[in-house]
């Protein structure tokens, strides 16, 4: 499928790349939903023989095609949260030289990137490619709660219930964009929500 | 001179006020009748006697009340003070810098007695007399950065320097012009400035970074920044914006004179000796329009600056909706006479208002 072209934005907004095969003894791949397509695009028998592939379908059905790649290890997890203990366990054993491939939504890639950095791997060992939903992971600046998969602007904070507008300001530490009360200066005047890039 | 500390509030009933002394030394930020971004850095090596530039860390009549306000903010939201694990040494550096500076610059208010690593710190305005072991966190009630910045006016961003870049890795931020430490902590210089319009395209941040990376020990620098705040509210944080944002709409032609405040930040930059971090104190000064208008030069100039400010900047600084009302008020104090160059009030030499 075609890739979404994110509009040019401010300097804190992450820029995602395109996966390519790298040399290495061991490869960790995390593909969420349409991210599976990015793995299928680069997969070679040699690469997959040295890869641990984690797939989080989120309603997509790439399982059979990914399994057919015969990766050294394959795991299908029902959600990112459910896969996280496994991801952490794999990273615990990671050696320098591990190559990481993250593909899917911005929220998943941002969070997984933090896990990889937390064990001391260099950011240069991580490749990313955005595929699928352009929904954002949003932090409410007021209550600090994170709302996943936000597709519209403004949106309702799933924790405190305030109507928040979607900023492009992004924190890598939180793996989230910032949401700020949209009607702070005119309580109750909440614009009709529309798609973030509409 | 002896400072009379005000008993005042920066919230609820807003009893904050400036004395005549505080008005005359207010760091008016416009050196000419217009404003645009610039890398307006200069050495921070004193300034005219009695000015806010004279001492390394200015202490004024608002000191005690500002520290009470900070304590309230921290009680409500401890995330306003954070330090990533590698920044503790920089915190000790900062504690030393502030204690040494204040005890030397204001010996009647602060005393520091050092015997090896056994230190005794006396802060008379806040009633603190505390002996502790330098570099031993267990002898302080808070981490070193938090301990000392609960006793120093202004916000503090402590920036780690690595890979030819500055990183916002610690801070005490309770009097900010609408940015979140909790959100921005860990960001690099370009990332935390990302939301600022225009300045990136103008190359401001590239040049500023270059300057800041080269700041040496003992050679601090400073600049001014400014915005507008309705009510003398120190805590204009994004965290509480859902509560204070509405106050902006409370401005009327009748109350604008004492409700609308020019908010000026005296930003200074000091290299820290052990950690090689850079500390970036952001000291906030507030002055009501009414008090500013007692200086004829500032009245003329503020009207011209606000009138001619590009829409983008007025929007970013959050007063685009109130600008027409501000101009209605300020125009009464602009008689069209020329103004003298520089920021100083020039009360002796500038003509009184002829309108």
What would the pLDDT profile of B87-130 be if each residue is shown by its tens digit?
Answer: 999 999 999 999 999 999 999 999 999 999 999 999 999 999 99
Q: Which of B194, B239, B319 to mutate to test the interface with A (most CBs of A within 10 A)?
A: B194
pLDDT computed for residue A2 by the predictor: 60
- Is residue B320 less than 8 Å (CB to CB) from chain A? no
CA proximity to A114, closest of A43, A160, A171, A169: A171
Q: Which domains does chain A have, with CATH numbers?
A: 27-130 (3.40.50.80), 136-184 (no CATH)
Residues in chain B predicted with pLDDT less than 70, given as ranges, are 1
DSSP E strands in chain B: the ranges are 42-43, 81-83, 110-115, 118-123, 128-133, 155-162, 165-172, 221-230, 260-271, 278-288
- Is residue A163 less than 8 Å (CB to CB) from chain B? no
pLDDT, tens digit (0-9, with 9 covering 90-100), for A181-196: 999 999 999 999 999 9
**Residue A194 host element (H or E):** strand A194-195
**Number of domains comprising chain B:** 1
What is the sign, positive or negative, of the torsion defined by CA atoms of B77, B82, B85, B88? Answer: negative
Angle among Cα B327, B328, B330 to the nearest 5 degrees reads: 60
pLDDT computed for residue A91 by the predictor: 97
pLDDT level of residue A179 (50, 70, 90 thresholds): very high
Instruction: Tell me, yes or no, whether B347 lies in a domain.
Output: no
Give the ipTM of the model, two decimals please.
0.91
pLDDT computed for residue B199 by the predictor: 82
Instruction: Tell me, yes or no, whether B12 lies in a domain.
Output: no
Name which of A11, A142, A174 is nearest B242 (Cβ-Cβ).
A142
pLDDT, tens digit (0-9, with 9 covering 90-100), for A96-144: 999 999 999 999 999 999 999 999 999 999 999 999 999 999 999 999 9
Instruction: Say how many C-beta atoms besides its own lie within 10 A of residue A119's C-beta.
Output: 13
Instruction: Tell me, yes or no, whether B4 lies in a domain.
Output: no
Instruction: Tell me, yes or no, whether B342 lies in a domain.
Output: no
At A63, list the tokens: 């399982």
CA proximity to B136, closest of B128, B127, B147, B125: B147
Helices (H), chain B: 20-24, 63-76, 88-105, 144-149, 181-184, 189-192, 204-213, 241-244, 256-259, 289-292, 296-308, 311-316, 323-330
Burial of A166 (0-12, 13-18, 19+ CB in 10 A): buried
pLDDT, tens digit (0-9, with 9 covering 90-100), for B220-272: 999 999 999 999 999 999 999 999 999 999 999 999 999 999 999 999 999 99
The four Cα atoms A19, A24, A26, A30 give a dihedral, to 10 degrees, of -10
Instruction: Tell me, yes or no, whether B241 lies in a domain.
Output: yes
Instruction: Tell me, yes or no, whether B291 lies in a domain.
Output: yes
Cβ neighbours of A13 in B, within 8 Å: 194
Burial of A1 (0-12, 13-18, 19+ CB in 10 A): exposed
pTM: 0.94
- Please judge whether B245 and A181 are an interchain contact, meaning their C-beta atoms are less than 8 angstroms apart: yes
Instruction: Tell me, yes or no, whether B180 lies in a domain.
Output: yes
A164 to chain B: nearest residue by CA? B242
Task: Give the domain range for residue B267.
Answer: 20-333
A163-189 average pLDDT score: 97
pLDDT level of residue A171 (50, 70, 90 thresholds): very high
- Is residue A61 less than 8 Å (CB to CB) from chain B? no
Instruction: Tell me, yes or no, whether B60 lies in a domain.
Output: yes
B243 to chain A: nearest residue by CA? A184
Active site residue B223: yes
- Is residue B191 less than 8 Å (CB to CB) from chain A? yes
CA separation for the pair A141, B316 (Å, rounded)? 18
What mean pLDDT, rounded, does chain A reach? 96
pLDDT level of residue A1 (50, 70, 90 thresholds): low
Pick the catalytic residue: B56, B70, B80, B223? B223
């Amino acid at each position: 499928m075609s890739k979404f072209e994110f509009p040019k934005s401010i300097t804190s907004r992450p820029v995602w790349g395109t996966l390519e095969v790298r040399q290495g003894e061991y490869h960790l791949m995390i593909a969420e939903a349409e991210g599976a397509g990015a793995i299928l695009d680069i997969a070679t028998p040699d690469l997959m023989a040295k890869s641990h592939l984690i797939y989080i379908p989120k309603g997509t059905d790439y399982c059979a095609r990914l399994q057919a790649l015969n990766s050294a290890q394959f795991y299908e997890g029902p959600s990112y949260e459910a896969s996280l203990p496994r991801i952490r366990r794999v990273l615990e054993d990671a050696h320098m030289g591990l190559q990481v491939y993250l593909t899917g939504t911005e929220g998943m890639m941002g969070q997984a990137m933090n896990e990889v950095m937390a064990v001391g791997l260099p950011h240069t060992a991580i490749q990313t490619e955005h595929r699928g939903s352009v929904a954002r992971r949003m932090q409410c600046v007021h209550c600090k709660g994170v709302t996943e998969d936000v597709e519209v602007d403004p949106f309702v904070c799933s924790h405190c219930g305030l109507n928040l507008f979607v900023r492009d300001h992004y924190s890598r530490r939180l793996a989230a964009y910032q949401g700020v009360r949209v009607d702070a200066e005119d309580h109750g005047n909440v614009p009709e929500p529309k798609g973030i890039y509409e | 001179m002896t400072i009379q500390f005000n008993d005042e509030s920066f919230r609820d009933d807003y009893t904050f006020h400036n004395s005549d002394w505080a008005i005359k030394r207010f760091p008016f930020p416009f050196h000419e009748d217009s404003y645009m971004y610039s890398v307006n850095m200069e050495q921070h090596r004193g300034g005219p006697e009695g000015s806010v530039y004279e001492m390394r860390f200015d202490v004024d009549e608002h000191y005690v009340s500002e520290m009470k306000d900070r304590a309230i903010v921290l009680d409500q939201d401890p995330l306003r003070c954070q330090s990533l694990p590698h920044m503790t040494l920089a915190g000790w550096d900062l504690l030393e810098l502030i204690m040494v500076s204040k005890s030397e610059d204001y010996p009647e208010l602060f005393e520091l007695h050092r015997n090896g690593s056994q230190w005794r710190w006396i802060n008379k305005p806040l009633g603190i007399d505390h002996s502790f072991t330098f570099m031993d966190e267990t002898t302080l009630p808070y981490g070193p950065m938090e301990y000392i910045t609960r006793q120093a006016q202004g916000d503090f961003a402590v920036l780690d320097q690595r890979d030819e870049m500055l990183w916002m890795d610690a801070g005490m931020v309770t009097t900010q012009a609408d940015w979140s430490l909790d959100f921005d902590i860990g960001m690099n210089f370009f990332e935390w400035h990302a939301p600022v319009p225009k300045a990136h395209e103008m190359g401001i941040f590239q040049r500023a970074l270059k300057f800041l990376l080269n700041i040496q020990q003992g050679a601090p620098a400073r600049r001014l920044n400014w915005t507008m705040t309705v009510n003398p509210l120190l805590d204009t944080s994004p965290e509480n914006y859902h509560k204070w944002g509405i106050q902006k709409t409370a401005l009327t032609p009748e109350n604008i004179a004492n409700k609308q405040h020019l908010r000026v930040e005296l930003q200074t930059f000091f290299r820290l000796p052990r950690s090689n971090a850079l500390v970036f104190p952001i000291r906030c000064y507030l002055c009501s329009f009414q008090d500013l208008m007692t200086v004829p030069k500032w009245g003329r100039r503020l009207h011209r600056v606000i009138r001619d400010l590009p829409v983008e900047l007025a929007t970013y600084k959050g007063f685009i909706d109130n600008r027409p009302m501000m101009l209605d008020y300020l125009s009464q104090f602009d008689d069209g006479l020329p103004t003298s160059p520089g920021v100083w009030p020039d009360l002796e030499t500038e003509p009184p208002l002829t309108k």
